[in-house]
Amino acid sequence: MTASALALPASALVTGGDDDERLVARAWVEPPFDIGRYPSPLAGFRKYVDLRPGDDPTNVFTKTLFTVRGVPAGTRVRIAAMDTYDGMVWGASNDALPGEAAADSFQRVSSTIDNPAEGEDVEAEVTIGEGHSGVWLPTVGALRGIEFGLGEPDRKAESFRYNLATSTAVVPSGLRAGDTYSFKAVQPPAEVDQDTLAAAAVTALPPGTGFLTEPANDWSKEATTPMGRVLAIADHLKSEGKYSDGVTKAEQVYHPGHNLRRLSDEFINDEQMVGNDEQYAAVMALLAQEVGVPARVVLGAVVPEGGVVTGAEVEAWVELQAADGTWRTLPADRFMSKEPPAEKLPESKTPMSGTIVPPPAPIPPPSDAGEQSDADLKERKATKDEGTRTRCSAPRSRPGCSSWPSMSPGRWSSCWSSWPPSSVSRPCAGADGAPRTSRQPDSWAPGASWSTTLETWASTSRWVRPPVVSSRPPSDRSPPRAWLGTRTARSSGRRFRPPSRQRHTGD
């Protein structure tokens, strides 16, 4: 706050008897101008793209932003220069100028500007169209003088501010369609090349930009100078990157914005580097600073034939500071390709796991019994239940059926004490002393493991499976209490546990 700002009449600071007449100092003091109150123009880049078709009322792709007269086609018009990045957006800063004026670099100036910049003289006249509004004033080069015409010229001249460091102009009172103004300027040296020497000073990058180090070093390892490294990085971005405005349904996965997440996970570290001017210019400027070259992002347009600038002409480019203090242009087509991306496959929603999932169980073939009535089904079930109860109760009742006669514990012991069988068929003594034959798997071989033998037995025996051999003395052994090899047991998924290898032979 300056002393002149407090030079108020003494009577203005004295309160009277009536509160309605009281005056306070803040009513006479104008706060410093803060450019941070206005959103980043780069963050709104999507309003300049083709919606193909779209009904967004804010989209100005086909609308006239402004008309420029007095400059040739191909001239670059600056809308805003953004010289600081906070991890969310590139924006204009209040401290672009060093020294005492650093806290208020957007200065209120008169119609004549003492600008030390050198270059080719330019004189132009601009008419604002329906597609441009807000506070950012389109200009060319570095201003040396400006006059406002139609549209409240005195009010605009009063609020006009200019940043000498970034060549950016604002009119806080706002711009409207039909406003006109004319200016004089100088056009500094144009584009950067291999012979351009870079400035030494670099703005510190914000936290969270460590993801830039590896690609910056890898993409520029063949270059030997800072500016050469920047150009090598630009070549890599153009050759490997793809362009998308994220408008079509298939490309809506490419989001707007240029925060750290969008530039890292969704751009540099993604399977494809995909974006438009917003992402490419933002990351190009950060990569330039990563390798030691001061950089900033500029939103503007290239004047077409006739001078009518629409949203289609708007683009974002990068400016690099040379060793002589001037800022040279790195055009968007130097680091950005217009080739569309390959179709991105939808992400699988199956959780990743180290477990190998087995294939699904095979579907059994359809029954060849045909359509059956309820009576037929009941009869089949009754027959099946009767067979389950009898379980080959009669020896040699039918071929392939093993007999389990009533035996004393001793007989069971003599039958199973030397399991597994030593031949295809194992004779077991029944209650009458006659041998009983249990059908055994033909594929059993001496020396096979217990698990192999029992699995083979289970897969080939239709009705029975060997009982569990107890470790108790023979006198305490009892015959099995359930038929372990029934179809019901197999269908329920219960597995037969192999008997213990340690056998009690008795006395």
Residue 16 lies in a domain: yes
In the structure encoding, which two tokens stand for residue 123, read together?
């004189």
Stronger pLDDT, 309 or 2, i.e. the higher one: 309
Q: pLDDT tens for residues 200-251?
A: 877 789 999 999 999 999 999 999 999 999 999 999 999 999 999 999 889 9
Handedness of CA 366, 367, 368, 374 (dihedral sign): negative
Instruction: Please report the pLDDT score of residue 115 as a whole number.
Output: 86
**Residues spanned by the domain of 465:** 394-491
Closest by CA to 406, choosing from 506, 480, 471, is: 480
Residue 465 lies in a domain: yes
Q: How far, in Å, CA of 499 to CA of 502, rounded? A: 9
Encode 438-471: b = buried (16+ Cβ within 10 Å), e = exposed: bbbbeebeeeeeeeebbbbbbeebebbbbbebbe
Residue 121 lies in a domain: no
Residue 420 lies in a domain: yes
Which of the 8 DSSP states describes residue 191?
B
Domain count, the chain: 2
Lowest mean pLDDT among 102-111, 116-125, 393-402, 439-448: 393-402
- Which residues, in sequence order, are bridge partners of residue 90? 85
Q: pLDDT tens for residues 91-130?
A: 999 876 655 555 458 988 888 888 888 889 999 999 999 9
- pLDDT band at residue 388, thresholds of 50, 70 and 90? low
Q: How far, in Å, CA of 465 to CA of 459, rounded? A: 10
pTM, rounded to two decimals: 0.65
Q: pLDDT tens for residues 24-38?
A: 666 666 677 889 899
Q: Check if the beta carbon of residue 58 is closer than 8 Å to that of residue 299.
A: no
Residue 461 lies in a domain: yes
Residue % of the chain over a pLDDT of 90: 48
Residue 319 lies in a domain: no
Q: How far, in Å, CA of 229 to CA of 202, rounded? A: 15
When pLDDT is averaged across residues 404-412 and rounded to a whole number, the result is 45
Residue 196 lies in a domain: no
Instruction: Please report the pLDDT score of residue 20 as a whole number.
Output: 59
Instruction: Please report the pLDDT score of residue 454 as a whole number.
Output: 61
Residue 477 lies in a domain: yes
Stronger pLDDT, 227 or 411, i.e. the higher one: 227
